[in-house]
């Protein structure tokens, strides 16, 4: 029997792009998410719309998409870029409208800060490479992770969330990053926010090239990286696809549909 794809539109809020020395050699961030969400997950079940937020391009309406992914970026949420404040406002508007948000790396930090958390440039430098990440609870109610699951994720960051937004629950932590993931729910107990500091969309080839690029420019400021294989796609998807259940609060044409409850609900 042919599996019927879901009919969802996910907006990619692109806040960063490949470093100059990697351009042309690897996909840009939106294509990485497209590959992760569709090719690795089976039949195409999402339509992805990319908005180059770093160039000031945003959706014309908050409900243009069923959910939004905020990507990684070389920028810091505390830096003076013309698109930072509009992004913060957009995140708050989406959250207030109960539209699901997924934040990765910079996106994790941006969502945290926009909703009342705190982000700082980490004094111990970069956190890079493959790091065991402890999931302290299930990402969503239907996740299939064992209790206290340890999942290997790829990290590239020099900023960290140091305070979660009010009402947020810690989801994951690593030896270098206490707040490596969090979720946030509405007052009705519906999970609409899922954030991770790690990069499940990166593959081994890109991660190695990015690490070499970063270390060639800032070797002395780079935290010691653990050795180990890149995370297999199937292991990424074990945690990632569970969180994507959050992206179903609306049916096509804006009709309300079932929501994903919080893990503790």
CATH number at residue 60: 3.40.50.880
Three-state DSSP at 4 gives coil
Written in H, E and C, the secondary structure of 112-153 is HHHCCCEEEECCCCEEEEEEEEEECCCCCCCCCCCCCEEEEE
Question: pLDDT digit string (tens) for 83-120?
Answer: 999 999 999 999 999 898 999 999 999 999 999 999 88
Specify the number of domains making up the chain.
1
Q: Which of 98, 99, 71, 100 is nearest to 87 (CA)?
A: 71
DSSP 187-219: TTSBEEEEEESS-TT--HHHHHHHHHHHHHHHG
The boundaries of the domain holding residue 121 are: 8-254
Question: pLDDT digit string (tens) for 137-173?
Answer: 655 544 555 556 677 777 877 888 999 999 999 988 8
Q: Cα(203)–Cα(205) distance, rounded to whole angstroms?
A: 6
Residue 262 lies in a domain: no
pTM equals 0.78
Q: What is the pLDDT of residue 176?
A: 81
Q: What is the pLDDT of residue 204?
A: 65
Residue 95 lies in a domain: yes
Residue 214 lies in a domain: yes
Q: Name the strand (E) or helix (H) holding 87.
A: helix 84-96
């Amino acid at each position: 029997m042919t599996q019927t794809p879901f009919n969802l539109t996910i907006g990619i809020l692109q806040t960063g792009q490949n470093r100059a020395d990697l351009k042309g050699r690897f996909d840009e961030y939106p294509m990485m998410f497209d590959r992760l969400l569709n090719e690795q997950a089976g039949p195409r079940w999402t339509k992805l719309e990319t908005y180059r937020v770093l160039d000031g391009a945003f959706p014309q309406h908050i409900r243009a998409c069923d959910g939004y992914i905020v990507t990684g970026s070389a920028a810091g949420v505390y830096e003076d870029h013309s698109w930072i404040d509009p992004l913060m406002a957009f995140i708050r508007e989406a959250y207030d409208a109960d539209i699901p948000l997924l934040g990765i790396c910079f996106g994790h930090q941006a969502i945290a800060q926009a909703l009342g958390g705190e982000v700082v440039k980490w004094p111990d430098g970069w956190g890079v490479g493959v790091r065991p990440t402890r999931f302290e609870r299930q990402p969503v109610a239907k996740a299939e992770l064992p209790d206290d699951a340890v999942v290997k994720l790829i990290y590239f960051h020099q900023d960290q969330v140091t305070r979660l937004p009010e009402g947020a629950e810690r989801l994951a932590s690593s030896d270098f990053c206490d707040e490596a993931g969090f979720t946030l729910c509405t007052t009705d107990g519906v999970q609409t926010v899922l954030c991770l500091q790690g990069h499940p969309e990166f593959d081994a080839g890109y991660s190695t090239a990015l690490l070499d690029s970063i270390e060639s420019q800032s070797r002395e400021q780079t935290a010691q990286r653990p050795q180990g294989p890149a995370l297999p796609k199937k292991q990424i998807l074990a945690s990632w696809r569970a969180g994507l259940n959050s992206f179903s609060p609306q049916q096509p044409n804006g009709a309300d549909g079932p929501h994903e409850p919080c893990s503790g609900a």
